[in-house]
Amino acid sequence: MHKLTDRLHRRLAVAVVAGALGLGALPALAQQPKTLKVAMHADVRTLDPFWTTQTIAGIHGLMVYDTLFSSDDKLEPKPQMVDTWTVSDDRKVYTFKLRDGLKFHDGSPVTSKDVVASMNRWGKRDGAGKQLMGFTESLTAKDDKTFVWSLTEPYGLLIDILAKTGTSIPFVMREKEAMVDPFKQIEEVVGSGPFMFKRDEWVPGSKTVYTKFADYVPRKEPASGHAGGKVVKVDRVEFVWLSDPQTAQSALVAGEIDYLENPAVDFLPILEGTPGIKVEAHAAAGTMGILQLNHLHPPFNNVKARQAMLYIINNPDYLNTIAADKKLQTVCYSFFGCGVAMETDAGSEPYKGPKDYKKAEALFKEAGYNGEPITILHATDHQYINPANLVMIQQLRKAGFLKLDVQAMDWGSVVSRRAKKEAPAQGGWNIFITGTTVLTSSSPVTHTSIGMGCEKAWFGWPCDAKFEELRKEWAFAPSIEKRKELAVALSKRAYEQVPYISFAQWRNPVAYRSDKISGVLSVPSVPPMWNIEKK
Amino acid sequence: MTAYIIRRLLATIPVMIVVALFVFLLLHLTPGDPAAVIAGDDASPAEIDGIRSKLGLDRPIWEQFVIYVLSLLRGDLGTSIFSNLPVTTLVMQRLEPSVVLALSTLVVAVLFAIPMGVLAAWKARSAIDRIVMGFSVLGFALPVFLVGYLLIYIFAIELRWLPVQGYRPLSQGVWETARSIILPAFALGMVYMALIARITRASMLEVLSEDYIRTAHAKGVAKKSVLLKHALKNAAVPIVTVIGIGLALLISGVVITETVFNIPGLGRLTVDAILKRDYPIIQGLIILFAGAKVLINLMIDISYSFFDPRIRY
């Protein structure tokens, strides 16, 4: 009997202790930080957003750093760190004033010196930045809050470029980091953006953690795209790297993550049919294929051979292979993307028309082609580049007169090999496939792969002075109407010269748990994590 | 025995030197360029050259090799080109998930496979034997990712018992770690279960046909005792070899399982580094894996003398 009561007492005591612990745990539970779990398209491996042009570095940058201007959801530039600015009558001198309350994560104020050093560093790495710096006479800090940007010519894109999104966003760093050689990585990550980077929790290849920067002063305007007030409504954001698309999709369905940046197109019907999940895409959130031709070596050093390809390549075939869902497809013949201000298919008749192998063969003959092997760098490990290559190879074989030398390799090898200028037989190449975003393509200035600056051009090294002249003219155009007019001229010239062949345009939606989070901002690329509220 | 162990440890030095040389040459002769990956799609060739120069990749190969070996001798495995973190830090971050996954998989595999193998051998050519061998064939035939997706669908999405992905470190509690590792351990364990069960069965069948087993039966020793004390211990040498090799393979990377279940282990670190041509990580990891394999082989060899006292070094 004694033993029984002893046991009962002991159990009672245990229950009381457990209850106390449980009650004690309640306030702890109530104070649990609100954590947003996000799976981005890649893992944050590099912390310096200028050192590499990879989009994921830009996503990390957008969390930690702030920008002078930002693009809203209509891709129009709006001030962000800048409060007011003036432009001289000759459109050559811009005077900017920073807004009040800007602070770095270490508590120091953001000054014009930080801005000047940051822009100089960024301007050495980014394509558009380099062009802007080419027209820059001086960039100086007038006082702590004012800086002056003087141009050699009335270059009309200064604000647009400062508000650019996608890759190589012009972030503002501390002067200390901004003075680091742009070809070397910075050591410390101290920005003035709405989130702070948690270095002690960073596991490259697995997880990157950010916490809310309590001292961030958002703008008063409502958030729109990357513009407006960056009001942070969660305590932590965790980027979880899920390299397997199936696992990423399952993690979203099971509610283990709140936001998935790039759901695989094959899984979209499942996600769309799952209650509590929303799938949506910004109008300009698209990818375009690039079939790059090497202009240095036969046969594509001859314009006739490049033009001949337009009679062989059938644009819609790529879409059906890469993004079978019709809702995601746009059969686009515009070098500058479809659904954007500069959309034009001027000069695309040979490409749009029915495929004509006889015409193509005649043009190849005129170019002096005599059955030499055409070396194709086929990346077999890439989500859409591999199927696009398979379609292209089939189309070229179907033409019946081309001899192909298809070399299968991983994307890393293509990236290395495409930089080689040697002849294909000496380790060079004739064709490789890649892609770009609609956002990047939408401006002839940021659209690096359309440039025809010979030695300075992108891989393939297209060379056409007239096109480059038109490109420059576009950058100086004073109005959107004039730019559209010039875009037509650029398109016609591009279809004559064929720097590359643009194929397909497909939308890349994001998916998120609409039953758990709200306030997701619509952007074409580099998704922001502010404004998102977690229930 | 001590002299043997010292001899074996000394013999690892030339092995490691050859591995270091081989890995270095293989990497630098393979096409691919980290500078091009860093520069991104919009970079010009001149920019790529600039990055290559800053990384020291434009120096002659022999010079890069000398720098690499001198760093190794100082115990420095180098710094990742991309994350700018020391390779040792990256390895330490990944070690716990890899070791926990490897050991859990082996525990799962051994706990199920050895009884299955013993049972199959004892009831050879019976229905039980066929069921066990059928399971073995299935274990070999089903790809790990398929088993993984099936387990995720049943236990994580439908039943919601276990998480879909991710690893919870031991610092968050053993139960949390166990919850995160159960599905990957079973998915990966299937292959090892199949392998160990087959080896156990084959080894046991051989031992069970020995004269001394017949003598033990004739003396009236209990069946359980014959199986476990007389037969299993004598059949252990090949089983331990397979388990040891399995452990070495598991630690050096089970990429597919790590990818499917999002376990931040050494396997994924290796593959990601290869795809991005992050040379210091690849070199450091292969050196570590080679060292681990040499040590595990040594441990297996030493364990033989425990199971078979006739083996002496």
Give the tens place of pLDDT for each residue, A26-57.
Answer: 444 456 889 999 999 888 988 999 987 778 99
Q: CA-to-CA distance for A424 and A430, rounded, in angstroms?
A: 7
> In this structure, are residues A172 and A50 in contact, taking their beta carbons and an 8 Å threshold?
no
Measured at the CA of B179, the angle between CA B174 and CA B180, to 5 degrees, comes to 100
pLDDT of residue B307: 77
> For A219-241, how does the pLDDT look when each residue is reduced to its tens digit (9 = 90+)?
999 999 999 999 999 999 999 99
pLDDT of residue B252: 64
**What residues does A373 pair with on adjacent strands?**
A403
Residues 6+ apart with CB under 8 A from B52: B33, B35, B58
What percentage of chain A carries pLDDT values higher than 90? 70
- Which residues in chain A are contacts of B260 at CB distance < 8 A? 244, 246-247
Domain A287-506 has CATH 3.40.50.300: no
pLDDT of residue A75: 87
Say how many CB pairs under 8 Å bridge A and B. 139
Residues 6+ apart with CB under 8 A from A200: none
A354, A357, A361, A364: CA torsion to nearest 10: 50
> For A333-377, how does the pLDDT look when each residue is reduced to its tens digit (9 = 90+)?
999 999 888 999 999 999 999 999 999 999 999 999 999 999 999
Write down the architecture of domain A207-284+508-534 according to CATH.
Answer: 3-Layer(aba) Sandwich (3.40)
Along chain B (313 residues), what's the average pLDDT of each consecutive run of 10 residues?
83 85 81 73 73 81 85 85 89 92 92 93 92 92 92 93 93 93 94 92 91 89 85 85 82 81 91 85 88 86 80 72
The pTM assigned to this predicted structure is 0.81
Q: Where exactly are the structural domains of chain A?
A: 43-189, 207-284+508-534, 287-506
pLDDT of residue B118: 92
> In this structure, are residues A345 and A334 in contact, taking their beta carbons and an 8 Å threshold?
yes
Topology classification of domain A43-189: Dipeptide-binding Protein; domain 1 (3.90.76)
Q: Which two tokens stand for residue A259?
A: 């936001």
> For A96-119, how does the pLDDT look when each residue is reduced to its tens digit (9 = 90+)?
999 999 999 999 999 999 999 999
- Which residues in chain B are contacts of A277 at CB distance < 8 A? none
Q: How far is A5 from chain B (nearest CA, A)?
A: 33
pLDDT of residue A28: 46
Q: Greater confidence, B174 or A5?
A: B174
pLDDT of residue A31: 66
Q: How confident is the model at residue A452 (pLDDT cuts 50, 70, 90)?
A: very high
pLDDT of residue A24: 43
**Average pLDDT rounded to a whole number, residues A83-87:** 97
* Mutation site for A-interface testing, chosen from B55, B83, B89 by largest number of A Cβ within 10 Å: B83
**Average pLDDT rounded to a whole number, residues A486-496:** 98
Options 3.40.30.10, 1.10.3720.10, 3.20.20.70, 3.50.50.60; CATH for B87-307 is 1.10.3720.10
pLDDT of residue A49: 92
Average pLDDT score, chain A: 91
- Given a cut of 50, is residue A502 above it in pLDDT? yes
Q: Report the range out of A7-21, A24-38, A437-451 with the highest average pLDDT.
A: A437-451
* Three-state SS letters, A519-533: CCCCCCCCCCCCCCE
Q: How far is B265 from chain A (nearest CA, A)?
A: 9
**Average pLDDT rounded to a whole number, residues A76-85:** 96
* Three-state SS letters, B38-56: HHCCCCCHHHHHHHHHHHC
> For A294-313, how does the pLDDT look when each residue is reduced to its tens digit (9 = 90+)?
999 999 999 999 999 999 99
pLDDT of residue A19: 43
- Put simply, whether B96 touches A (Cβ < 8 Å) is no
Interface pTM, i.e. ipTM: 0.76
Residues 71-90 in B contacting A (C-alpha not used; CB under 8 Å): 80, 82-85, 90
> For A397-445, how does the pLDDT look when each residue is reduced to its tens digit (9 = 90+)?
999 999 999 999 888 788 878 888 999 999 999 999 999 888 889 899 8
Closest CA to B156 of B262, B255, B266, B269: B262
Please answer yes or no on whether B40 and A54 come within 8 Å at the CB atom: yes
SS3 category, B86 = strand
Please answer yes or no on whether B45 and A52 come within 8 Å at the CB atom: no
Q: Greater confidence, A263 or A167?
A: A263
